[in-house]
Structure 1
């Protein structure tokens, strides 16, 4: 690599860090402003009970939003430096899938989106995994699908054995992903400028998902068709012996 190329790479990294700091400041400012405003309101005397409940609920929601962003930043540091530490054990992938879907059902109902899950009957989906980390990946993929699937749309999460792995998928009927974004989708801090439904965030969620899946020894990928939807797939090693190949 030439000196010019090294300088260009260094400049790109510095620019990325600058954008990250700007994004972090922007994303944290909004929920913190809401928390501050409601806290100031609650400091007044004689707040009606109904308003008190609403204010506390709003403060809690925004505090959870801040905590989630801080958690993403912590995971991004691990992704950059030491990597993720997995506490793996044999766990039922179907149970993880069901719990991830059930935890998102209220949000799906609020958005008017049908959310369902399925797994093969009688087929063991035991995986060697850190259950908290697999749940984190599923929650992120389902959460993204909810952001982009319009009212009346459908999201289906399913899992099946695939050789020596279990393949999980989250399929939605959203607008799909622009072709130009697909090669960069799992890059850290990447956010599309072409998607009219671009959501807020730090652009870390999918990069963290990729790091978590690969830390398990799996793979993650996406398939998308414009105006049809997309399917995010990832594999986790099975806890069972792979089925023998027929001769």
Structure 2
């Protein structure tokens, strides 16, 4: 059974409460005869509506009393109806929700009370919904903190032993006495270890970017620096590229990029690694870049298996596009998620075009600094 809302009639004359009680059968109406009783009663049970008559006996000025009551947290949802002939203005300034004359009919007064009770109901429902949402938000934030701490701990605990294993495998692989089969197994082990290292680092960086904790150390990169970044990314991918045909076509001259060279290197390494995973031995991977307007359009194209149309919408979402590669490894999508966040952090965008069985082309843009050339020309003119 729904509890009746409480209405307090704070007035000298108790008959005011009695007449209102008959007009509000769905509410519990109580009479309060003085200010001290009002303070005590509202502490026991917060009312829905309080009718505050200007003739209420009180040691405090009524506006001061109302200000005190409105400031209490337990009365947040209570609505205040000031009733009287004189002194209503100060009560309105003190926080009264509505004003009515004490000569108003009981029916009109009851109608106003019902309106205020409906507002109280809506306010309480909104407060309850907000409390539920706040609890959910607190739970989510706690889970995010735990997840961040776990990812950070795992990555930092894994990086050093993985790097040590890679170094040891490289040393053993250089042993000339090893049989070809053993050398191939070692090379495969080193590639998988390298993949594990990249996966762990990407995982940490994706979390950092999502949390807004990764800062870009941007520089002006001209064509020679871009070529150097691509060459470094090529070295990061590992020996697996030896079994692919790699074509690189970069501009000889261009306006400078405003980019973080280390992050750009990681972007290229992830896209190149992705292309390698989805092509077979002898496949062709092409890296292109060309200025277009105020942007540098960069392309990573392969002639591999292609991407199913249903996978493309979630392709750049971490852990949401896990699909088996041509080489029997599940692709978690963490590298592509990093690329998307990092490119957007530079003010660019990334997208993919692909058809199943006909390869894939990844495109991304980076903003060019078109002011630099103009500034150099102006500086040259001054020297002349």
TM-score of the aligned structures, taking structure 1 as reference length: 0.69
**Structure 2: distance between partners of 1:57 and 1:184:** 32
**How many residues align structurally?**
213
CA distance 1:151–1:67, change in 2 (3 Å): closer
8 A Cα contact 1:178 1:195, kept in partner: no
RMSD over equivalenced CA pairs, Å = 4.1
Would you say 1:116 and 2:247 are equivalent positions? yes
Q: Is residue 114–residue 152 contact of structure 1 (8 Å, CA) maintained in 2?
A: yes
Residue aligning to 2:316: 186
8 Å CA contact 2:347, 2:366 repeated in 1: yes
CA deviation after TM superposition for structure 1 residue 98, in Å:
5.5
Trace 1:61-140 onto structure 2 (pairs within 5 A): 64-93=194-223, 95-97=225-227, 99-101=229-231, 102-103=234-235, 106-109=239-242, 111=243, 113-121=244-252, 123-140=253-270
Larger Rg: 2
Residues 29-63 of structure 1: CA deviation (Å, up to 9, x unaligned): xx97xx5xx99xx9xxxxx9846x96998886665
> How far 1:88 sits from its partner (Å)?
0.5
Structure 1 gaps of 5+ residues are 43-47
2:363 aligned to which of 221, 233, 240: 233
Pick aligned residue for 2:305 from 175, 179, 186: 175
Secondary structure, counterpart of 1:227 in structure 2: coil
SS of corresponding position for 2:330:
coil
1:157 aligns with 2:290: no
Per the TM alignment, residue 198 of structure 1 is displaced from its structure 2 partner at its CA by 6.2
RCO greater where, 1 or 2, for CA within 8 Å and sep 6 or more? 1
**Residue 167 of structure 1, CA deviation:** 1.1
Distance in 1 of aligned mates of 2:193 and 2:327: 25
For 1:62 and 1:105, the matched residues in 2 are separated by 10
| Contact 1:164-1:241 within 8 A present in 2 as well | no
Which residue of 2 is the match for residue 142 of structure 1?
A: 272
The structure-2 alpha-carbon separation of the partners of 1:49 and 1:97, relative to structure 1 and needing over 3 Å to count, comes to closer
Name the SS of the counterpart of 1:235 in structure 2: strand
How far apart, in 1, do the equivalents of 2:195 and 2:323 lie?
Answer: 23
Q: Which secondary structure state, in structure 1, belongs to the residue aligned with residue 258 of structure 2?
A: strand
Deviations 1:67-96 (A, max 9, x none): 323312210220231242100110125643
Decide whether aligned partners of structure 1 residues 77 and 196 sit closer, same or farther in structure 2, where only a CA change above 3 A counts.
Answer: same
In structure 2, C-alpha distance between the alignment counterparts of 1:180 and 1:56, rounded to whole Å: 36
Residue 193 of structure 1, CA deviation? 4.3
How far apart, CA to CA, are the structure 1 residues paired with 2:176 and 2:294? 56
TM-score, normalised via structure 2 length: 0.46
Could you report, residue by residue, the CA deviation over 1:130-172 in whole angstroms, capped at 9, with x for unpaired residues?
Answer: 0111111011101111111122321110101111111111011
Kept in 2: contact 1:127–1:239 (CA 8 A):
yes
